[in-house]
Amino acid sequence: MEVWSEEYGSENIVRSSLKPGNTFRVQLRAVGMSEFNGYDIMVGYDPKIIVGSSISFDGSIFDRQNLPLVADLSTLGEVRAAAVALGGLYGGDGVLATVIFAVTGTGGTTLNIHDDMIVRGSMEVNHNRRDGGFRNRHGLGLLGDVNGNRRVDILDAAKVASAYDKSILDPDCLLGADINRDGSVVITDVSILAFNYDQSEMP
């Protein structure tokens, strides 16, 4: 993972040409990744110098399979972007999301990826964990089939996406959206669903 700006290169945004009122574009990029289908990334910056003004998933390595989950600029000093690829795995290098920053002060700032989670189905690629399977071992059906119609499709994805970041203690959270049943709905759950996307279960 890296941040990249055509104007400023990677990570250190220190040019004296940064003038209040200007904007510039930064890509969140995958670099040399093994296969993955989802991510949740936080990038930190100095809010005295710049502020995030928009996030776009256009041109994403996930292309038309990109399902955005989080595009959050509401916390000063932080940009958070999360998405999954519905029904595909990706690897190598490529853009995940593009952030536009507005310059608000003079000086420099670094852009640090200070939290990232990269997943493939139920495996966290970063940590190289493998559990060997994506089907529910308890015979409860295809993982990701939230509404129980034996098919994983956009209706299931929409339910899980709407429960994103919520815990099962939250009344708005659909229990079925917590696919790995660990008490919260995060990138891991959506990634499992996305991995099984378009799959049907034999009757």
Give the binding site for Ca ion (CB under 5 A).
145, 147, 149, 151, 156, 178, 180, 182, 189
Q: How far is the CB of 153 from Ca ion (least distance, A)?
A: 6
CB of 95 to Ca ion, least distance (A): 27
Handedness of CA 67, 86, 182, 172 (dihedral sign): positive
The CB-of-145 to Ca ion minimum distance in angstroms stands at 4
CA atoms within 13 A on the CB side of 121: 19
Question: How far is it, in rounded angstroms, from Cα 119 to Cα 30?
Answer: 12
With b for 16 or more beta-carbon neighbours within 10 A and e for fewer, the 161-178 pattern comes to bebbbbebeeeebbebbb
Report in angstroms how near the CB of residue 148 gets to Ca ion at its nearest: 7
